[in-house]
Amino acid sequence: MSNATYNSSDLIDVQERDGVVRLTVNRPKALNALNPEVLDALSEVLDSLEANEGLRAVMLTGAGDKAFVAGADITRMREQTPQQAQAFAGHALDTVRRLEKLPVPVVALVNGFCLGGGCELALACDWAVASDNAMFGQPEVQLGVIPGFGGTQRLPRRVGPAMALDLMTTGRKIDASEALRIGLVNQVMSQAELDDYAEKLAGQLAGNGPRAVGAAKSAVYDGMEQDVDSALKLEQSLFALCFAGDEQQEGMAAFVEKRPARF
């Protein structure tokens, strides 16, 4: 357990154990819809996560069994001016980007509706595990708008531009099995199995070298924005940096000595 403290009101429930932090968006009566207050709460939590040197992994989910996050709060958005909409999107984009840039694995545990801003939140996670009752979609065009929390950029990077445009221009919803088929999620299981799987996954992630895990994230995400030759040089540099600390020495010593590594 780290010494990090979290100030998030009651909109984001935070639980931490052995370097693994579980965040739960806590608006079940509103299907965990995102509004400025939820984004403020998440931003406050991210302040603590970014300062937590003992952080090893983050799990993100929604309260209740009906929704991960059903989208943005439409009742709050419907009267926004273009200037207010731009500010709201900016707030969401900045917050979600901070989640994405954490140097540890971030896993979305998707239960129920994962639509609009909720899908965009899941896309900012490194991967997603879905229960078999999950429903995904970017239905913003049915409301006369487009995704504004990063979906137009992250969705095509995850599933390809053709499938991303399919989802974004039809507004159709897909179930967990189709989400798995197109690569939007990594695994699908029953809702009853989701928490147990998350516990095992968290333990696996927390047991790996934290600097190496962070370097892998940097190599993948930063490398995707570069040409292949530049990205390979980035990989080479990050590989070399792994040898600069004691993490590599412990990992390789443990392998040779046939014992678990102690990172």
Q: Are 39 and 91 in contact (CB under 8 A)?
A: yes
What phi, psi does 245 have (nearest 5°)? -125, -175
Contact between 250 and 256 under an 8 Å Cβ cutoff? The reply is no
Residue pair 71/34 in contact by the 8 Å Cβ criterion? yes
Rounded to whole angstroms, the Cα distance separating 159 from 115 reads: 16
Angstrom distance (rounded) from CA 220 to CA 187 = 20
34: which DSSP letter? B
120 tagged catalytic: yes
d(CA 145, CA 80): 12
> Is 140 annotated as catalytic?
yes
Rg (CA), the chain: 19
Q: Quote the CA–CA distance of 253 and 247 in Å, as a whole number.
A: 10
CB 135 within 8 A of CB 174: yes
Quick one: CA dihedral 25, 28, 34, 40, positive or negative? negative
Which residue is catalytic, options 50, 140, 178, 225? 140
Q: Which of 50, 120, 178, 257 is catalytic?
A: 120
The C-alpha atoms of residue 22 and residue 45 are separated, in whole angstroms, by 11
130 in Cβ contact with 70 (< 8 Å)? no
Does the CA dihedral 83-86-92-94 come out positive or negative?
A: negative
Active site residues: 120, 140
